[in-house]
Amino acid sequence: MGFMRFTLSLLRNSTQRKHVFRWIESLQKEYFLTKKQPWLVFDAIDFLNSLSLENKRVFEYGSGGSTLYWLSRNMLPVSVEHDPIWFELVRTYLDTSKVDYRLVKPQKCIEKAILDIADPLLYLSDDTRFKGYNFKSYASQIDDFSDGYFDVVLVDGRARPASIMHSAPKVKVNGLLILDNADRLYYTQKTGPFLHNYRCLPYYGIGPVDYQMWGTNIYVRQQ
């Protein structure tokens, strides 16, 4: 869908037209890094903006604008990234004394005829570039921390079912687990048991850059 056509479709959408100008702004080069914005649905970002997050602990799978956003909110981030080129670029924007920034590459694994990307125990990515690799070390980085340690966890990187499995116990009561692209059903197809004590706040709409709407779920831990 072209720029004008998508802009008109947003203007016709009663719940999303308010985001038209910020969506247009997001199309500029290196928007996420220069504007310090996470790549989430705008309504989910607005929810986060409404919260008091100063000095809160956050763990994120996938780095970039979100890392800078947490720092701009005076949070204490731990960020894990799989891509060495992106890692080095993002690091030039960071005060590394204020973030625990980890590069964790995927690991070679034995290929099998049929692999279920929804199975959190397989640590797989649906990206064909990572066929024959798993993200077990990446997803399990959060195990360095005790249960209930983090106020916020963002799952917006690789092997998201596995990342949910590892991170769900690490969120404190009343803390948040954020799952981006939650409309990709395989992310939650087999992770329901790990989220049984969470209440889901689903957001579906437009976010930065993309010419389509998608889902960001914010799960609030109840107990």
Q: What is the pLDDT of residue 2?
A: 87
80: left (phi over 0), alpha (psi -120 to 50) or beta: beta
Mean pLDDT of 110-136: 88
Residue pLDDT, tens place only, 169-205? 999 999 999 999 999 999 999 999 999 999 999 999 9
For Cα atoms 148, 55, 92, give the angle at the middle one, nearest 5 degrees: 105
pTM: 0.96
Residue pLDDT, tens place only, 9-38? 889 999 999 999 999 999 999 999 999 999
Rounded distance between C-alpha atoms, residue 211 and residue 206, angstroms: 8
Cβ count within 10 A of residue 114: 4
- Write down all domains in the chain, each with its CATH number in brackets: 29-221 (3.40.50.150)
Residue with tokens 């998508």: 6
Reported as a pLDDT band with limits 50, 70 and 90, residue 112 is low
Tokens coding 207: 């976010």
Residue pLDDT, tens place only, 92-103? 999 989 999 999
